[in-house]
Structure 1
Amino acid sequence: MDTTSGILDEALERLHTCGPEFHGYLSNHGPMAVEALVRNGRSRSVHNWLDRYETRLEDVPAPRERITEENWRAALGDPRRVTDWTAYFARRIAERPWREVLVQWWPRLLPGISGAATHPVIRVGHAVRTLTRDGETAPRVAELAHGLGYWAARHTTLPVSVRPAGTASPAEALAALPHVADQQVGVVAGLAQLPGTRGWRQAAQTLRRPQDPEAAREQLAAVVRAAAHHYLDYGHGDNILLVHAVTAPNAILRTLPVLPRELWGPSLDAAWAASAALAAVYTPDEPLPPLRTGPLTPEEVFERATAHGDEHVIKMTDATLDVMSWSQDGDERASAAALRAMELIPRE
């Protein structure tokens, strides 16, 4: 990653003048996409990409009331307080190392991973990746405050709890999930159907329970891989929202190294529940035909994503490159999942 040109910091500074959402509920993907572009060697594309994307964004919402250690619980999950939350985390990170703030707030925020269709935790994962791999600058630390503030403001728990306790692999458990009755709905209405979906909770809990933190980390990586492979076959159920079944658990996986090991198991539980919920809401009955891709290097796959230009394609490809890096053979199905996203999502 290019950490010397300052392009990522410049882009983040531009984006921090905009709110985390636009058009009422759509998430601002700018910080995540520009981080992925820079990470994968496309720094020269960042400002041109942002020039186009920025036109749809909106100003930062007006603050309402200062959030403190005494009153934060009343503001949790209130999207009207997003600017108050960002200011709160900016103050906390100015007072203490960002890692300490993240560790304190991770178990508080983790149950609300599904808020805003998991976008906040994805944004946090991109911020943490940069801070841990490339060092701290003011815009990068501020980006973490923005991500945590967005998560706190959109904190939303799933309507049904899940605790893996079985023996199934992530791919097996994902394939066995029953689907909600009405898939032609938004994500909130879709998730609301889970408690009434017969057998969903039981199927989700068949996932193998890891015996130690390292096994939890390996299981989480397997969840990301299974979700990417699932998108290759079923991404047409919802070409956008099923991307998040991949990128949300991957964001948590990227964050594990800065968390205490005792939080790795609960992090796996939350990531799996969110991914399984999205799969149940948007997986169609029939898979797509196989996608013939031919051998491609990771660089070639990401070059195609950059040319495509859509923010979800960029994020999805960035995540599948992680999956490809875990296999000696490059994991052709993960590569094909990125290309499937390029096929299903309209080009910019």
Structure 2
Amino acid sequence: MATSTLIRLLDENLRRAPEYGAGLSNHLPMALHALHVLGASDAGLERFAAAYIDRKKLPVMSAHGAGRTPSLRLGDIGCFEAWQAHYDARIAALGPRDALARALPELWPGVAAAAFHGPIRVAHAWQLGHPGELGAALAYWASRWQRIDVESASTQDLELADWLAAAEAAARSWRADGRLISERMDRASRTPEFRAFAGGLRPCANALPHAARWAACLYADTGDFTVLHVVTGSRAVLQLSALSAPPPQIWHAWAAAIMASAIGERQRVEATSCSWKEVVGAARSSLDDHVVKLVHACHELSADHGDDEFLAAACRAVAQGAP
């Protein structure tokens, strides 16, 4: 259950913009929830929030939408405040669960939003049980909605293991410029290498948990920053899938993110501390939002699906820190 300190910090963050710098996501509400679940104290939450706000120079919400007719265009960050008002009203009318279940079918095709930060923020908000944060999270997903499609259907019919191997091979054979992960994902999706395999995954049961485990292993072996987002994004999709089944586009986005990474050859880093107790303790004291979120995601995925790969990924994150 959220403490009064966590609720206050979340309320205060609702006055801040969903992004800072040149299109980078405000991770504060996601990291605060992750820290809370990992057992951080109220003092620890306060410490993290103060450091994050100062380090990222988080801007307050602009008033650029004041006096304009509300617009609800998917994928337009300029519509964030309109989407936030829309979802706040829907949550007030339907309640958080029904409002979220109703929103997901429209949002799922754009699951790539801000390198999966749309669904990641929504999943954290849903678990938090904070209606205001859920409205803001849904608004962020809608306003950064990004659809990844396969322009021509693959003639392949690949088992999951073969499809994942094809994604990894494509990631090593192709490189794209682009400061943001979302930009590189878009460029990857337009390549012949992507079209050759991305649409050729044969449907199978429990594909996403298996893919999440594979991504955790890839992160443990490479420490790649983009792959980290695939792991945390997979956790979010699994969490939200209980309310609404995601469409095939999630696999297109997943494939584009793997291709957009800069992975080299796999090489496992030996961590000095590799027990959940030590890793969770290190994450609780960390000021690195990505480490906190990755450890939280892996801890939850391990509890739900088992496997040492999630622990190995968490150990790599703690040992390596932010890129």
Question: Shorter-chain TM-score: what band?
Answer: 0.7 to 0.9
CA distance in 2, matches of 1:162, 1:222: 26
8 Å Cα contact 1:305-1:314 kept in structure 2 = yes
CA distance in 1, matches of 2:95, 2:192: 45
Equivalences for 1:1-348 in 2 at 5 Å?
2-3=1-2, 5-44=3-42, 45-55=44-54, 56-64=57-65, 65-67=68-70, 72=72, 75-131=73-129, 140-160=130-150, 166-169=157-160, 171-177=161-167, 178-179=170-171, 181-186=174-179, 187-210=181-204, 215=205, 218-236=206-224, 239=225, 241-259=226-244, 264=245, 266=247, 269-287=248-266, 289-293=267-271, 296-326=274-304, 331-346=307-322
Give the share of equivalent positions with the same residue, in percent. Answer: 29
CA distance in 1, matches of 2:304, 2:153: 26
Query: Post-superposition shift, 1:225?
Result: 1.3
Q: Are residues 66 and 338 of structure 1, via their aligned partners in 2, closer, same or farther at CA, if it must alter by over 3 Å?
A: farther
Q: Are residues 159 and 62 of structure 1, via their aligned partners in 2, closer, same or farther at CA, if it must alter by over 3 Å?
A: farther
Instruction: Note the alpha carbon deviations across 1:235-279, whole angstroms, 9 max, x for none.
Output: 34xx2x2211111121011112233xxxx251xx33332222111
Query: Post-superposition shift, 1:296?
Result: 3.7
8 Å Cα contact 1:316-1:341 kept in structure 2 = yes
- Give ranges in structure 1 of 5+ residues lacking alignment: 132-139
8 Å Cα contact 1:66-1:88 kept in structure 2 = no
Query: Post-superposition shift, 1:201?
Result: 2.8
Instruction: Note the alpha carbon deviations across 1:50-74, whole angstroms, 9 max, x for none.
Output: 011112211112252353xxx63xx
Aligned residue for 1:192, secondary structure, equals: helix
Q: Are residues 318 and 163 of structure 1, via their aligned partners in 2, closer, same or farther at CA, if it must alter by over 3 Å?
A: farther
Instruction: Note the alpha carbon deviations across 1:268-326, whole angstroms, 9 max, x for none.
Output: x3333222211111142422x22223674323211112333210111111111123224
Aligned residue for 1:41, secondary structure, equals: coil
> Please, what is the CA RMSD of the aligned residues?
2.5
Q: TM-score when scaled to structure 1?
A: 0.82
- Structure scoring higher RCO (CA < 8 A, sep ≥ 6) equals 2
CA distance in 2, matches of 1:24, 1:310: 19
8 Å Cα contact 1:89-1:148 kept in structure 2 = yes
- Give ranges in structure 2 of 5+ residues lacking alignment: none
Aligned residue for 2:297, secondary structure, equals: helix
Query: After alignment, is 114-123 or 270-279 more displaced?
Result: 270-279
Matched residue type, 2:201: L
